Amino acid sequence: MESTTIETATHQLPQAIEPRNPGMELDLDWVRTVQANTSAIERRAATLPGRRSIKKDFQAAWLCRAVSLIDLTTLSGDDTEGRVKRLCAKAKQPVSPALLDQLGLPDLTTGAVCVYHDMSETAVRALEGTGMPVAAVSTGFPAGLSPFHLRVEEIRQSVAAGAEEIDIVITRRHVLQGNWQALYDEMKAFREACGDAHVKAILATGELGTLRNVARASLVCMMAGADFIKTSTGKESVNATLPVSLTMIRAIRDYYDRTGYRVGYKPAGGISKAKDALVYLALMKDELGDRWLEPDLFRFGASSLLGDIERQLEHHLTGAYSAGYRHAMG
């Protein structure tokens, strides 16, 4: 298929311009009719990496767009304030200034910085004045099995610390047991605790068993008011995959067709190569259209992805690959 280009603004910050998804009453009849043809989804997903050929200037434009869509992330047990500050510095200057000047994008930044709940205040201070949001993972991340009142309070504290986006984890057993009312009530409570902060619902799809469960959980979380649905914590044995992404994206499309509200999508975990980012961008364009290629509706949850994109951009401009250590996170 011939190359496709997307326009890249000179300065892209994630500014929500869509009406927030207000949610709706839980429609169990709709939920129970949702199915997922696993074999068909897997066949379609298998064709995606070879369906688009994006080269030269077109590829560079798409990769710059991918940079603007990254939630630059550190979620390690040994995170320190120094590491978070370095990550924020990288988010503000994700690609070397010389390369960005050549690309005509001197003000390019990542979409956000994603950190643990207790690092929210550090990240907010480091990004002060940039307009870039901090996304805090809360609700007992990654397992989400701490007492419910503590998970809700964690959200409130993250918001109080200045986080504008909250990545919550759902209780997987609600999905595995088909207890959709419990999942809806939980998600609705999390959304209310977020207040004006946008909420991303992490489904931990690698632990949900089937694509049908993924599709139904996606729909229930959107009904409860999720602003984004997200694949994974990055801690599961299986994280973002193309079949899962296709399933979740089509649930987003169905919800938009039924309600008129756009919900965002965030694949996370295992997306580390520039070529993978291009596949996901093409998938979003094909299934949902250009509107979902903006930071308020699409994010990559990633850390090492940025380094590989920077290497590819340098190769595009110089014809040579640099060593990976030249593109460290901080």
Based on the residue annotation, tell me whether 230 is a catalytic residue of this protein.
yes
Joined together, the tokens standing for residue 183 give: 């999942």
C-alpha distances out from residue 210 to 142, 170, 247, 328, Å: 20, 16, 11, 37
Q: Which of 90, 188, 200, 266 is catalytic?
A: 266
227 is known as an active-site residue: no
Alpha-carbon distances, residue 298 vs 66, 127, 200, 228, 260 (angstroms):
10, 21, 11, 8, 17
CB 239 within 8 A of CB 206: yes
Distance CA 220, CA 323 (A): 45
Q: Give Dmax (Cα) for the chain.
A: 57
Catalytic one of 90, 92, 200, 230: 230
* Catalytic position from the list 71, 92, 167, 200: 167
Q: Give the closest residue to 218 by CA, choosing from 180, 273, 258, 173.
A: 180
Gap between the Cα atoms of 79 and 108, Å rounded: 26
Catalytic residues: 167, 230, 266
